[in-house]
Amino acid sequence: MNDGISVAGLGVELDGARILTDVTAELPQQRVAVIGANGSGKSTFARALNGLVRPSEGSVHVAGTDVGREPRRARERVGFLFSSPDAQILMPTPAEDIVLSLKAAGVARADREERALAELARFGLAGRADQPAHSLSGGQKQLLALAAVLASGPRVLVADEPTTLLDLGNARHMGDLLIEGDVRGPVADQVVIVTHDLELAARCDVVLRFADGRLAEQGEAGPVIDRYRAAYA
């Protein structure tokens, strides 16, 4: 599979504990939601898509890359957005944080400052380029984390519970960016969103539901979400 995500017989064991078992999925869709109860394995699955977690069995191919065999290339092609931006913001100011991402992506030194300001402007943060990053609001921090991930131009974006720590307005804004993109177009060729927000999941093209470390169901958003809700009614 040259494009999209292809997972075959994926198993993950960490510190002697079985986390994922025999997960198989073909995902050509642009917007993919991953749902399930806490501890179901959905975040481990997400991390396996860009090499943050290595498969114990099976294979993971994303954007034409064998993630298990080429983890460095996978991380170049697959950006990862964590639920807490504080875990992802590494530099004192927003501008410096974006410059760091551009440096890692191989952008020429002479071009980094201008590119960084353009990336910040894209997410409404240009006026805060030199402000201490720790003083940003929660929503602004998450936008900065997203800008830093996208600055390197990943083909696939994996977002692990990106709205969990946001208020309603910022959560909606983040959801709109991930699903609809902005004036530049989609934020990535393919977006995978791990979420407990079923309204956000319902906007995706396909939904994967995890349970007890297995892929319990995959299909159109409406029916999968309805059955998930019914299970906890």
Q: Are 204 and 189 in contact (CB under 8 A)?
A: no
From 149, 40, 181, 155, select the one nearest 85 (Cα to Cα). 149
pLDDT in tens, 91-149: 999 999 999 999 999 999 999 999 999 999 999 999 999 999 999 999 999 999 999 99
CA 54 to chain centroid? 17
Q: Which domains does the chain have, with CATH numbers?
A: 5-231 (3.40.50.300)
pLDDT in tens, 189-203: 999 999 999 999 999
Confidence (pTM): 0.94
pLDDT in tens, 42-79: 999 999 999 999 999 999 999 999 999 998 899 999 99
Looking at residue 185, the DSSP 8-state letter turns out to be B
Looking at residue 212, the DSSP 8-state letter turns out to be T
The rounded distance, in Å, linking the Cα atoms of 38 and 109 is 43
